[in-house]
Amino acid sequence: MTIRAPIRLLILSAAIVATLSACNRNDDKARTPASTATGEAVATAPATPLSYESTTPYAEVELTLAQGITAHPDLHAQLYQTVVRELNQVNEGAQSDRTEAGGDAGQPAYSRTVAFAPAAETPRLFALKRDDYEFTGGAHGNGVSTGVLWDKTTRRQLKPADLFRAGADLKAMNTALCAAINAEKRTRGEGAEPVTANGDLWACPDASATAFTLAPGANGKAGGLTFLVGPYVVGPYVEGSYEVVVPTAVFAPLLAPDYAGEFG
């Protein structure tokens, strides 16, 4: 059965959410120091590889991490270990799929890449952009981008909602997000049609359900949120993805007290 591209994107997004949840579950384990035979804890220097790749007849997988993550060994350990495990499962799944299909039948190898790029950093927050690309056959692969938010004080990953006050209505950002998308569409030519809140085929996305990371700002503060809108969300696949910034002024009243000072 062929899975339609928008549905594959939803599956890929769900897998990323599961990966981030697994990272948080592994947090305490990643921090636990090694012990000697007498039970005395000893400090160990964390290994910080910034890449991983594996090629088999069935799949090619690759991970790359931003250099800046070496300053945050707990986060590095969580992301590296979890994503490498995930990529190895892709290798195993690709071989299983070929076996069930009765052979390669001229099909190209599957591929999966995960790349973490720097987004922004404040005195308390460190943010990355995660790009996933997956090809499992068909006319083209599928990609999705998400954000990683790391609290340097508590040394834990944050969920997007953690930045905001409890019960904050993030839909207050919808108008600004839609306007930013349409402004970017105007730079892409006549083929990129504008979207509205109640569009029939393509509509403005809900800010509360859209991935984001921090946008760089001045004086060591974040300047807003960079929303990561994937293919098929506000236009056809050929239109590509959108990365648009909603400035701090739009959502400043919604921020949780712990993080309000990180934005300017």
- Indicate whether 106 belongs to any domain: yes
Helix pair 5-25, 73-100: axis angle to 10 deg? 140
* Residues 6 or more apart in contact with residue 177 via CB below 8 angstroms: 204, 205, 207, 210, 227, 244, 246
pLDDT in tens, 146-182: 999 999 999 999 999 999 999 999 888 999 999 999 9
Note whether 134 and 27 are same-domain residues. Answer: yes
Q: Is residue 178 part of a domain?
A: yes
Q: Are the C-beta atoms of 251 and 259 separated by less than 8 Å?
A: no
Question: Does 41 map to a domain?
Answer: no
In a domain, 119, yes or no: yes
Here the CATH number for the domain that contains residue 237 is: 3.90.640
User: Do 125 and 80 share a domain, yes or no?
Assistant: yes
The pLDDT assigned to 10 comes to: 44
Q: pLDDT digit of tens for each residue in the chain (264 aa)? A: 333 444 444 445 544 544 444 454 444 444 444 444 444 444 444 468 999 999 999 999 999 999 999 999 999 999 999 999 999 999 998 888 877 766 666 678 899 999 999 999 999 999 999 999 999 887 788 999 999 999 999 999 999 999 999 999 988 899 999 999 999 999 998 889 999 999 999 999 999 999 999 999 999 999 999 999 999 999 999 999 999 999 999 999 999 999 999 999
Structural domain span for residue 129: 5-31+47-158
HEC-encoded secondary structure of the chain? CCCCHHHHHHHHHHHHHHHHHHHHHCHHHHHCCEECCCCCEECCCCCCCCEEEEECCCEEEEEECCHHHHHCHHHHHHHHHHHHHHHHHHHHHHHHHHHHCCCCCCCCCEEEEEEEEEEEECCCEEEEEEEEEEECCCCCCEEEEEEEEEECCCCEEECHHHHECCCCCHHHHHHHHHHHHHHHHHCCCCCCCCCECCCCCCECCCHHHCCEEEEECCCCCEEEEEEEECCCCCCCHHHCCEEEEEEHHHHHHHECHHHHCCEC
CATH number at residue 21: 3.30.565.40
Same domain, 109 and 203: no
Residue 36 lies in a domain: no
105 and 135 inside one domain: yes
Q: Is there a single domain that holds both residue 57 and residue 112? A: yes
Domain closes at, from 139, 158, 177: 158
For the chain, how big is the Rg over CA atoms in Å? Answer: 20
Instruction: Give the closest residue to 264 by CA, choosing from 220, 228, 227.
Output: 220
> pTM score, two decimals?
0.81
Mind listing the pLDDT tens digit for each residue in 77-87? 999 999 999 99
Query: Quick one: 152 and 199 in the same domain?
Result: no
Domain count, the chain: 2
Distance CA 264, CA 224 (A): 8
User: 136 with 12, same domain?
Assistant: yes
Does 151 share its domain with 22?
Answer: yes
